[in-house]
Amino acid sequence: MFPSPKDDKRKLSPCTAPTGSDPECIGSSWQMQQVFDRITAAARSMATVFITGESGTGKEICAQAVHAASTRATGPFVPLNCAAIPHDLLESEVFGHLKGAFTGAVANKPGAATVANGGTLFLDEICEMDLDLQTKLLRFLQTSTIQPVGASQARKVDVRIVCATNRDPMEEVRRGRFREDLFYRLHVVPIHLPPLRERGEDVIEIARRALVRFSAEEGRSFAAFAPDVEAMFRALPWPGNVRQLLNVVRHAVVLNDGRVVTRDMLPLGLHRDGDRVPPRHGTAEEASRLGIDDLVGKSLAEIEQMVIEETIAREGGSVPRAARVLDVSPSTLYRKREAWARQAEAV
């Protein structure tokens, strides 16, 4: 599991989550073991941590784990979602403002950087931050000082920055939407959270732990999943990652009761996804048998999907390795596959 405040800060044991712990915080796959090792190393440092991963992979929980295992664990952990706050208010939310600084500023307000003094400031969806504010954030990182909106003098704060994004930050830099100097200032200790579909048996481990927890919370008696349910869980692409899996498990627990979760207890949308899984893999197999004559008459979008799926299949299902072969970022492939899944669901 991700380390918690009770864990030994020097001897973390990521795979020994006690029963009832947060099901988002576990995983025995080698991919997650690398994540846990990186968290342990990052926690000992004051360096800025940059977390990447698709939506629903647990980026905020990862940030909390870094904070909880650090020497700042007794200080505040302050999360701020840069995508959820209007751009014209984000500066005030980060750095604070003085009374009368702008219309509606009826009182002094400490910003997130001040509230996080002595602890950790988590900037989620950092790539959504306006370029002007990126400049001020860079100055803050260089000087450890903040200047609230309307203030004439800067003040010193002691804050560690952890940030996250579901985008490819280097692609954002190339497109001019994210400052390169800020990227290198923030991207000191990178941690990439793999999508659930690449984590092997973690999907079953997480689902079982979630079933125990949610059954206890809802007063149900569930203890296991039917074999065909677990087989479906292994095969599904899970575009919503761990967040989607937990939603599915809670749905089954809340609306049903018994000892075993069966397929008929799962959301209808998941049934449609499960029924489409074999053809989805077949598309890649079919593409491997096609010659140039077979591609003529297909749209470029169809050909692109076939080539991408075949490359992923040849790379053993690894999207990062396929991305290297295709010379694109992994997040580009993830976004395309999510779009294809949504299109298929709409049919």
Query: What ranges do the domains of the chain cover?
Result: 23-194, 200-346
What residues have CB less than 8 Å from 71, skipping those under 6 apart? 9
Instruction: Report, as an integer, the average pLDDT of 57-86.
Output: 93
pLDDT for 286 beyond 70: no
pLDDT tens-digit profile of 12-50?
Answer: 333 333 333 456 668 889 889 999 999 999 998 999 999
Task: Tell me, yes or no, if the two domains 23-194 and 200-346 fold the same way.
Answer: no
The rounded distance, in Å, linking the Cα atoms of 68 and 36 is: 13
Cβ(259)–Cβ(275) under 8 Å? no
Structurally, at CATH architecture level, domain 200-346 sits in: Orthogonal Bundle (1.10)
End-to-end CA distance of the chain: 38
> Which tops the pLDDT comparison, 77 or 101?
77
**At 4, is the pLDDT very low, low, confident or very high (cuts 50, 70, 90)?**
very low
> Which tops the pLDDT comparison, 233 or 331?
233
**pTM: predicted TM-score of the whole model, two decimal places:** 0.73
Strand, helix or coil for residue 137: helix
Residues 23-194: name the CATH superfamily: P-loop containing nucleotide triphosphate hydrolases (3.40.50.300)
Question: Checking DSSP bridges between strand 96-97 and strand 109-110, what pairing results, if any?
Answer: antiparallel
**At 273, is the pLDDT very low, low, confident or very high (cuts 50, 70, 90)?**
low
> Which tops the pLDDT comparison, 169 or 320?
169
pLDDT for 255 beyond 70: yes
Q: Report pLDDT for 100.
A: 77
pLDDT tens-digit profile of 89-107?
Answer: 888 889 988 887 777 777 8
Angle between helical axes of 319-326 and 330-346 (0-180°, round to 10)? 110
Task: Give φ, ψ of 223 to 5 degrees.
Answer: -135, -10
Cβ(124)–Cβ(163) under 8 Å? yes
pLDDT for 1 beyond 70: no
